[in-house]
Every structure is written in C-alpha cells, then in structure tokens.
Amino acid sequence: MKPQILISATNAGSGKTIFAMGLICALRRKGFRVQPFKCGPEVSDSQLLTLSAGHETINLDTWFASYTNVQHLYNQYGEKADVCLIEGNGGLFDGYKRLQGSSAEITKLLNIPVILLVNARASGYSVASVIYGFKHFHPKVRIGGVVFNQITSPAQYAFLREACADAGVDCLGYLPQNIAFKLPSKHTSITLTTKKALDVQANLAADYIEQYVDVNRLLNGCNRNFPCQYTLPYSSDIETEIPSPSAHPIKIAIARDPAFNHIYPENIARLALNGKITYFSPVYGTELPEADFIYLPGGYPELFARQLHRRRKIMDALKAYAENGGRIFAECGGMVFLGRSLTVREGGTAYPMSGVLPLDFTAVSAKLISGYRKLIYNDVELKGNEFHYSNVATSDTSLVVTQATNLKGGEVELPLYRYKNVIASYGHWYWGDKNLFDLWK
C-alpha cells in the first residue's frame, strides 16, 4: 500500500503543473520520496516535475505504448517511491479520441484516484454541478477529492466548500490567487536561471499547500495497493530485453544540455542495454566523445543559435563522423543542429550549423506544430509526437525515405531523412520498447 495520486483538472490551464510541483516539494519536506509521472507525450511539464522531485519524470502514454508497457513502467519506477504522483494532461477526459489518451484512461488503467483541481476564479455555486458531473461521468473514474485554485478570499472558499459538499466530493483545500505563479513558456529552455526561478515558485506553492490543503487526508484517501495489476490481454514482450546489435558493447554518445533535453528516459534505458553512454554538450562543450552511435535529441537550438554556431570543433567532428559512415539518430532540434544553417530572426544571420544534412532551418514567424505521429521504416514502427517552433526552409527531397502519418492514418508533412547512416526527422519518438538499431538493417 502506498499513496498514488493522479492530479487532473476540469480543463487545461487550471494550474495542474504548479500544484503538482508544490505538492512534490511539500511531500519531500515530510521525508517522502516521490516518483513523478506525466500523462501524455509532453516533455516540458515532465522537466518541471523532475526539478521538483530530484529525479526523472516518466511519461505514461497509451498512444506510444501498450497498456501492459504503461503498467510495467508505472510499477517499475514506482517500486522504490513512497508516493506515486501523476500529472494529467489537459482536462480529465480530454483524449485524442474521446477518452483514448486522456488522464481518465490512465487512472482507469492503474486503478488510482483523481485529485481534481478546479480553477475557481470568478466561480460561484454553479461549480457544484461541474464537480457532480465529473464525479458521475464515468463509473470507473473515481474522484478522490477536490482542490480549488485561484481563490480570492477565505469567504469565497467557504462558499465553494459547501458547493463541493453538495456535489458529494471531499474538499481537500485550496491555493490562493497569486500572480507569482507563472510558469515559463513551453518554448523556453531550462537554464540555471530558470531552474532557480522555478524552485522559488515550487517552494512557494509548497508553503501554500502546507497551509491551505489537508495533505494528510489527501494521502490517506489515495492509499492504494501497489503494484497495479496488469490488464488482460497481457503482453509479455515487455520482459524481453533488446539484444545488443554487436557481440561487444558499443560506445554511445548523447547530446544533453539546455538546447537538447527533450528526452524520454525509457529511450535512454533501452540504449543503455547496448553499451556505455557518454553525454556531451553542443552548447558548452568542445569535444565530441568517441562513439559508435550518436543520439541528438530534441530541444530548442534556435534559443542557442549564436552559441552553437561557435562550436565549430564539435560540428566539424559530427560532419566527419557522418561522412565516415557513423550512425546518428537525430530528433527535432537534433536534426536542426545537423543542418546547413539556422535563421532565428527576420533579416538576421543564417547561423552555420554542422552541414551534415543539406537542409536549412528557420524560426522566423514559426508557429507551434504538434500532434501524434507514426512512421514505418525498415519494418520498424515508431510512434511519437511532433512538437517544434522551427521549420525547414530549404530541403533536399532525395533524402526522404518515408513520411509520417497522423492518428487517422493520413500522411502529414513530417519526412524521415536518411543520409548515409544518419537518420533524422522533426519527430520526438518513443522507442523504449523497440530495438532502434533495426532502423539500420
């Protein structure tokens, strides 16, 4: 038995992330080890939870992985924790197809209760009907309690607490309205300065939670058997380790710094089965580690274009490595770093990049492009998420080996490029249950 919590809300933008960060901090002050999880594919919120918890947040996504794989990840990473805490995505029942991909699907799959965060700004007694609706909408989704956010006065909270009681749901407390609670844009890198600011906000939220939320009652109400039981049909392939592609462990180099940090931890865990991992920083470093395989994950290189273009030694080493047949897998921002140039501002400098791929990139007037994607190459199916603020300005279509599709199977403008042994695309792919090296068959 251990407390297992899924924090969700009536709608997106209700303050789930800052509440989750604050609750993690409050629990750590009590001496609990909290394992954070995040519903869905988003990496930005996962990074924030990781900062509060002090260790990696694990994404739980039923588009990427099977039900068995999601349950396996939850049990595996939650085993050593005192408390398992999941931050939901969007509103509780918001999925890519009705409940599919929603927080409600995850709470059913893991059989854990929901703490519903309700943004009470300008709310009155009518909130009772909203809470009542969430409680009764789906019989297998259990609302374990409600926490109100953006409360303007104790009088307002007393009024809303009565509404909660009339809806038949426990009211666990509230967070006062505070303009200091403003998380950075998702198009922001987690630098040291950003980390310090986020730490201040998380601890302020923890102070409020300790003062205005009944944390002990919240934990007691969310106490559940652990581990979760697997849903039938059970898929035994999660217990099959991916074999090493060679008789000897290989050397793996992974870019990881503020410009390249959109990484699913399970991808790294799978890579680690194949050899020794060394991390390097294109932003701050000068040397490319000796490697048999290089992984360039996603991120926002457009925020560091000036620093990156000065790292000529690393970029030249990448190009030489690629020209000599070295294997590189690049996702999103990692692919941008392999291009010829990156333009950040209208009329601004086209910063030279590595020049491995004959592609030019621009962040000028770029809008967010996002959505679930799937592609198949060399009989390997990859599922992932497209999420980027830059675009391809000039391209070489002769390098395109396949195109991705969306949830409905329709082709989208998301090519997979291959040059020699370099494979790259704008997708953030989940391959924690795949042998990535089969792409080079």
> Can you give the residue ranges of every domain in the chain?
2-224, 244-440
Q: What is the pLDDT of residues 77-128, one digit of tens each?
A: 999 999 999 999 999 999 999 999 999 999 999 999 999 999 988 788 899 9
Average pLDDT over residues 306-329: 96
| pLDDT class of 328 with cuts at 50, 70, 90 | very high
Q: What is the pLDDT of residues 337-360, one digit of tens each?
A: 999 999 998 888 899 999 999 999
Alpha-carbon span 238 to 57, nearest angstrom: 20
In the predicted model, is pLDDT for residue 376 greater than 70?
yes
Alpha-carbon span 261 to 282, nearest angstrom: 11
Q: What is the pLDDT of residues 393-403, one digit of tens each?
A: 988 889 999 99
Q: Are 259 and 189 in contact (CB under 8 A)?
A: yes
Tokens of 131: 């809470």
What is the C-alpha end-to-end distance of the chain, expressed in Å? 46
**Picking from 84-98, 168-182, 292-306, which range would have the lowest pLDDT averaged per residue?**
168-182
Q: What is the pLDDT of residue 238?
A: 57
Within this chain, domains 2-224 and 244-440 share the same CATH topology: yes
Q: What is the pLDDT of residue 85?
A: 98
Q: What is the pLDDT of residue 179?
A: 67
Q: What is the pLDDT of residue 368?
A: 84
Q: Are 4 and 224 in contact (CB under 8 A)?
A: yes
| Domain 2-224 annotated CATH 3.40.50.150 | no
What strand order describes the sheet that includes 369-377? 275-280, 250-255, 293-296, 327-331, 422-425, 411-419, 400-405, 369-377, 380-388, 427-430
Q: What is the pLDDT of residues 43-77, one digit of tens each?
A: 888 999 999 999 999 999 999 988 999 999 999 99
The rounded mean pLDDT for the chain is 91
Q: What is the pLDDT of residues 409-437, one digit of tens each?
A: 898 999 999 999 999 999 999 998 889 99
Q: What is the pLDDT of residues 249-265, one digit of tens each?
A: 899 999 999 999 999 99
Torsion angles phi and psi, residue 12, rounded to 5:
-65, 155
| pLDDT class of 236 with cuts at 50, 70, 90 | low
Alpha-carbon span 178 to 183, nearest angstrom: 12
Whole-model pTM: value is: 0.92
**Picking from 142-156, 238-252, 266-280, 312-326, which range would have the lowest pLDDT averaged per residue?**
238-252
Q: Are 43 and 262 in contact (CB under 8 A)?
A: yes
In the predicted model, is pLDDT for residue 188 greater than 80?
no
The CATH number fitting domain 244-440, selected from 3.90.550.10, 3.30.750.210, 1.20.1600.10, 3.40.50.880:
3.40.50.880
Alpha-carbon span 399 to 36, nearest angstrom: 39
Q: How far is CA 91 from the centre of its chain?
A: 17
User: 83 vs 6, 33, 105, 199, 419, CA distance in Å?
Assistant: 11, 6, 20, 20, 46
Q: What is the pLDDT of residue 359?
A: 96
Q: Strands 360-362, 171-176: parallel, antiparallel or unpaired by DSSP?
A: unpaired
